[in-house]
Amino acid sequence: MLELEWPLALLFLPLPVLVWYFIPATGTRQQAALRVPFMQDFESLNATFQKNRVNIWLNIALVICWLLLVLASARPLWVGEQIELPVSGRDLMLAVDLSGSMRVEDFRIKGQAVDRLTATKYVAQDFIRDREGDRLGLILFGRNAYLQTPLTFDLTTVSTLLMESEIGLAGRETAIGDAIGLAIKRLKDKKDGSRVLILLTDGANTAGEITPLKAAELAANHGLKIYTIGIGADEMIRESFFGKQRINPSQDLDEETLTAIAEKTDGQYFRARDTEELAEIYKILDKLEPVEVDTQTLRPEKSLYMWPLGIAFLLAMLIALFRLTGRGK
């Protein structure tokens, strides 16, 4: 529907009539206090209506021009139908391991071998896109933990920064405890019951100032729920001087600690041995029960003031053109 943002501006509509009534035109009274250009157009409107058709149309154009200017000043808006905003009320941090072991190519995407970080990026894109209504943040950790993106509704930025991350960017070791500690710091003041950390790693804690289990205890005290994901295949074939060898690329994965972290915080531990399992885990995480909050709605608005303002400007140009050419008096 059409609405006016400043409807009181319409009170200026009778202003020319009031000026014409209370202030004399130039030359009708001596020592006039105020001279108003073009007032003769309003004073002689009835007379010129019979004498000069051009001046009639000029006066009509003046009136229309004034009406359009007042309408533009009232800021007309086109207001659309109400749109319900998807708000779940969750504050969710995603912590991704960038240590050197993430370089192991034991995952496959469309038949092509890729490293663990590439597989994580590939699968996480859909998960991030489906977080509409959640505030999502990104932590990258290796030897140190860094807040790459604070909690935000801007999912595009989170996805872009994850895609731009590189193995070794935060160091080649793994500081799981520090990553949890950083998440606690960013989430501790948020709403109870809505704080979630999803931590993805392929190894064991080998660096940092706080142990993972101590960090998990602190997380539990602050109401932070942690879902841990252990990533890496159980077996892969590697070419060597002695031929093909079967090895376990995930022998350093500390599943016991990751499981304990999840249990201490009422979360859950998941094991992703290939891209399909990782995608399935993210689908499960996508169904996390959201916190009930009041529905928020939005009514889109489109400003229309430029249309009456533009038409008034064109009319003013035409009136000025007529007067300069002497066709209008």
State the residue range of the domain holding 31.
2-80+299-324
- Is residue 173 a part of any domain in this protein? yes
Same domain, 184 and 270: yes
Same domain, 110 and 240: yes
Same domain, 124 and 9: no
143-166: per-residue pLDDT in tens? 999 999 999 989 999 999 999 999
d(CA 224, CA 216): 9
- Pairing state between β 236-240 and 225-231: unpaired
Structural domains of the chain, count: 2
Give me the pLDDT at residue 42, please.
46
Token pair belonging to 47: 């007379």
Helices (H), the chain: 15-22, 39-43, 45-51, 53-73, 116-129, 155-164, 176-187, 212-221, 255-264, 275-285, 306-324
Same domain, 166 and 222: yes
What CATH code is carried by the domain that includes residue 245? 3.40.50.410
207-223: per-residue pLDDT in tens? 999 999 999 999 999 98
- Mean pLDDT confidence for 259-286: 90
23-45: per-residue pLDDT in tens? 766 554 444 444 545 445 545 54
Same domain, 170 and 242: yes
Token pair belonging to 35: 């001279």
Mean pLDDT of the chain: 82
Same domain, 189 and 246: yes
State the pLDDT confidence band at 47, using cuts at 50, 70 and 90: very low
